[in-house]
Amino acid sequence: MSEEQAFAEVIDKDQRIEPRDWMPDGYRKTMIRQIAQHAHSEIIGMQPEGAWITRAPSLRRKAILLAKVQDEAGHGLYLYSAAETLGADRGDLTRRLIEGRQKYSSIFNYPTLTFADVGVIGWLVDGAAICNQVPLCRSSYGPYARAMIRICKEESFHQRQGYELLMTMMRGTEAQREMVRDAVDRWWWPSLMMFGPPDADSPNTAQSMAWKIKRHTNDELRQRFVDMTVPQAEALGVTLPDPDLRWNAEREHYDFGAIDWSELKRVISGDGPMNAERIARRRQADEDGAWVREAAAAHAAKRTEVRA
Amino acid sequence: MSEIRHEWPLFEVFVRAKRGLNHVHVGSLRAADHAMALHHARDLYTRRNEGVSIWVVRSEDVVASGPDDKDAFFAPSGDKAYRHPTYYSIPDSVPHI
């Protein structure tokens, strides 16, 4: 059996491709790009919420937020680890991120203006991430699928702490409720954009589905997220900012309004409210850490505990 | 500018979830030396009581069979069904066997 046939048979039988298996160049490239983009999103995703750690309103909220941001770092590292099994190097991937040659999720280019944003990110942004990520636990690339299983287990805490935070604020003062409504208004549409362009405008979807890298289309996942979220909004007592949002008994799904795709294109191409600041911060952290990495390597070499 | 610099070597991480179980491979990380690899493994892979013991091994020290060895290594056991208990038919009336 040829290498191509062996690869096709593994995919066909719904088994996993492992690092040392033969795989088409396109599969390897697509996997590296997808995993790197995902890893970068976790790492950049530490910033919007990290900004609130020093300003959390109680020790409890601060401990929760610290744990969550630490999880994002961990998720990024699980994913860089998976990318390295494909021959990528994490230092090189970080450089590509800093130089703007690889992307991260558009959602992290929006600012976190109030503490309610921390709750809404947990509820909507992590909720959307869970919708995206649960099917990726069955991705055809073994190390990625295994990383996703770990990530999904931890992501559930992220969403629940966000929702609980919002419930607490909704039981508070009118000013607190107004903060929640404002945050929901700002994050709802960007959350829907997290699933990517509509299927008609997503040229890579068909190949990714054939390779079982992707299990559902962007629009399918977006619909699933809307259907899941509307009852949660009702339970919370907030109105999602879409006058066209209503149950369609015939489709047995919620209909929703048109998404402003020009905004997504603008933010992805670098023109979102926070793009420059997010990358500048990541670059600064990388530069600030350089001497530590060098010193640790020099120390290890001196002790010759590890062969250089 | 964009040449690949491996600043720190790669380590594979194995975690024993609880006493009585084997260490299981959970992923990899980069660290300057073994002591740092253990600390990073603790922070990265056991944030929620996932383990009671960790091994770290330099990735380059792992020797593995490759996909090309598959037939030579594993095919010979494929036709030895008599190594399995279900190969033997014993009447249902015989107890405890």
* CATH number of the domain enclosing A236: 1.20.1260.10
Contact flag B32-A89 (C-beta cutoff 8 Å): no
Judging contacts by C-beta atoms under 8 Å, the chain B residues touching residue A21 are 67
CB pairs under 8 A between A and B: 66
How far does the CA of residue B80 sit from the closest CA of chain A (Å)? 23
What is the band of B4 on the pLDDT scale with cuts at 50, 70, 90?
A: low
Could you identify the residue written with the tokens 């997503």? A202
* CATH number of the domain enclosing B47: 3.10.20.520
pLDDT given for residue B80 in this prediction: 87
Judging contacts by C-beta atoms under 8 Å, the chain A residues touching residue B48 are 154
**Residue B87 covered by a domain:** no
Closest-approach residue (CA) in chain B for A97: B2
**Residue B85 covered by a domain:** no
Mutate to test the interface with B, among A68, A81, A85 (most CBs of B within 10 A): A81
Judging contacts by C-beta atoms under 8 Å, the chain A residues touching residue B30 are 90
pLDDT per residue as tens, chain A (308 positions): 788 999 999 999 999 999 999 999 999 999 999 999 999 999 999 999 999 999 999 999 999 999 999 999 999 999 999 999 999 999 999 999 999 999 999 999 999 999 999 999 999 999 999 999 999 999 999 999 999 999 999 998 999 999 999 999 999 999 999 999 999 999 999 999 999 999 999 888 889 999 999 999 999 999 999 999 999 999 999 999 999 999 999 999 999 999 999 999 999 998 999 999 999 999 999 999 999 999 999 999 898 754 54
**Residue B65 covered by a domain:** yes
- Which structural domain, as residue segments, surrounds residue B27? 10-78
Residue A156, Cβ neighbours under 10 Å: how many?
Answer: 11
**Residue B95 covered by a domain:** no
**Residue B60 covered by a domain:** yes
Using the predicted structure, report yes or no on whether residue B35 has a pLDDT greater than 90: yes
pTM to 2 decimals? 0.92
**What total of structural domains would you count in chain A?**
1
Q: What is d(CA A44, CA A285) in angstroms, rounded to the nearest whole number?
A: 11
Buried b / exposed e along B46-76 (16+ C-beta atoms within 10 A)? beeeebeebbbebeeeeeeeeeeeeeeeeee
- Which structural domain, as residue segments, surrounds residue A126? 3-307
Using the predicted structure, report yes or no on whether residue B6 has a pLDDT greater than 70: no
- Which uninterrupted H or E stretch holds A61? helix A59-84
Contact flag A293-B7 (C-beta cutoff 8 Å): yes
Query: Rg (Cα) of chain A, in Å, rounded?
Result: 21
**What total of structural domains would you count in chain B?**
1
**Residue B16 covered by a domain:** yes
Q: What is d(CA A281, CA A108) in angstroms, rounded to the nearest whole number?
A: 13
